[in-house]
Structures are given as structure tokens and as C-alpha cells.
């Protein structure tokens, strides 16, 4: 492979935000007298467009309107991100070493992306290279977000690696024609894909698939 660019997911790939998001969701549910395990929340939440996740969750547990639930989640999670968010193991070191094109493509809104990347010291490495599904109008597993990231870097899809921790993200990358590397991708997610992708457990292993440093 002649790889010239790397696309990173943010939540659960570069920053350890998914566990904090799941905690915030669990606290909102608990305040309403509903107990849902963190594992169940993560399974439902990971890689999903938030509006669809909220719609399904509130169908099962009708504790609030989608608008009120979303607002409360954004406020609570922002506090957790500001005070407790950490980069994924090895993320800062890896990103700092990359000399080829790189960008972040996420289903999250831009303000959340920039906050999370900023708090963890990653944002300066992606100046002008952060793509939000809310701005593109395409959410994983649709391929539009990844195609936009590829175009932003000025590369052909087959020259790009996408690093993803979710089924929806991996599906988006496959549909967009990029080479997908699963980061701690679950066995369930791997089985649901229409073809296999290599899976890494540490970000440093990405060196086996792309020229880094």
C-alpha cells in the first residue's frame, strides 16, 4: 500500500470520551429512576449518530423529550470532558510523529470535537483538518463524512487509512473506499462487517499500515 493520509475517528480512538459520555447518560437516566448498565449504554451509543441513539433510548425509557435529553447530556458531558478527559494511550505520541496528511472525521458536533481535542493536547496537530458530520450532513455509517475527509486532504481514497473503533465507522470507511484499521474493534463489530479488516489493540501498531515518523 502507498498510504499518504490517515483519518482518525475521535471518540474512543483519539480521546477516551465514550466512557465519560456513557457515565453522563447513565446519570441522567438514574436521576429519572432508570438503571441501565454502562456496558449497555456503550453498546448502544458507540459510533451511533446521537439523534438516533437518543430517539431509540427514549423510546425504551421515555424520561424526557429528545431536545431536553440532548441539552442535559451536552451540558453534563462538557463538564466531564473539561475535568476528566484523557487522550487514548499513545495518541499524542503517535499523532505528533505523523508527517503525512492527517485529519479527524467524527459524528460529533464541532464544538465537542474541538473541546475534546483541545483538552487532550491534540487539536494543534489537526489545524484545518477536523471534519464534523453535522457540517457535512452525513453521519457514519454513511460514507459521505469519510469522502469529505479524503477530499479535504486532497488524496485518493485508496491512499488513505481510516482508524475506527466502531462498527458504523468501519462501515463508513469501507463504503468510502479507504483502507480501514479497527482500533479495539469488538468481535461483534468485526462479524457484522461485509469483509474483514485488520484490528489493532494499541495505536502504535498503526505503524504497520502507514508511514509514521
pLDDT of residue 46: 82
Distance CA 108, CA 168 (A): 13
Is residue 24 one of the residues assigned to a domain? yes
Q: How many domains does the chain have?
A: 2
Give the residue numbers marked as catalytic. 9
User: Can you tell me the distance from the alpha carbon of 94 to that of 63, in angstroms, rounded to the nearest whole number?
Assistant: 42
Predicted model pTM: 0.92
* 46 and 142 assigned to the same domain: no
Residue in 181, 210, 213 with CA at minimum distance from that of residue 3 = 210
Give the pLDDT of residue 48.
Answer: 83
Domain that holds residue 159: 5-16+86-208
Taking the chain (213 residues) in runs of 10, the rounded mean pLDDT of each run is 94 95 96 93 86 94 96 96 97 97 96 96 97 96 98 97 96 98 94 94 96 87
Amino acid at each position: 500500500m502507498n498510504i499518504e493520509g490517515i483519518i482518525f475517528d475521535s471518540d474512543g480512538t483519539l480521546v477516551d470520551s465514550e466512557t465519560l459520555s456513557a457515565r453522563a447518560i447513565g446519570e441522567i437516566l438514574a436521576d429519572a429512576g432508570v438503571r441501565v448498565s454502562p456496558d449497555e449504554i456503550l453498546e448502544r451509543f458507540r459510533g451511533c449518530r446521537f439523534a438516533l441513539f437518543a430517539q431509540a433510548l427514549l423510546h425504551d425509557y421515555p424520561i424526557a423529550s429528545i431536545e431536553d435529553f440532548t441539552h442535559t447530556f451536552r451540558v453534563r458531558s462538557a463538564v466531564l470532558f473539561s475535568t476528566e478527559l484523557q487522550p487514548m494511550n499513545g495518541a499524542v505520541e503517535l499523532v505528533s510523529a505523523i508527517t503525512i496528511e492527517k485529519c479527524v472525521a467524527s459524528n460529533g458536533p464541532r464544538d465537542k470535537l474541538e473541546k475534546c481535542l483541545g483538552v487532550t493536547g491534540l487539536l494543534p496537530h489537526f489545524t484545518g483538518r477536523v471534519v464534523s458530520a453535522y457540517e457535512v450532513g452525513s453521519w457514519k455509517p454513511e460514507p459521505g463524512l469519510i469522502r469529505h475527509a479524503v477530499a479535504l486532504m486532497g488524496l485518493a481514497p485508496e491512499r488513505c487509512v481510516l482508524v475506527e473503533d466502531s462498527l458504523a465507522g468501519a462501515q463508513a470507511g469501507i463504503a468510502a473506499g479507504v483502507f480501514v484499521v479497527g482500533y479495539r474493534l469488538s468481535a461483534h463489530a468485526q462479524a457484522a462487517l461485509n469483509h474483514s479488516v485488520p484490528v489493532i489493540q494499541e495505536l502504535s501498531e498503526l505503524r504497520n499500515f502507514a508511514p509514521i515518523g
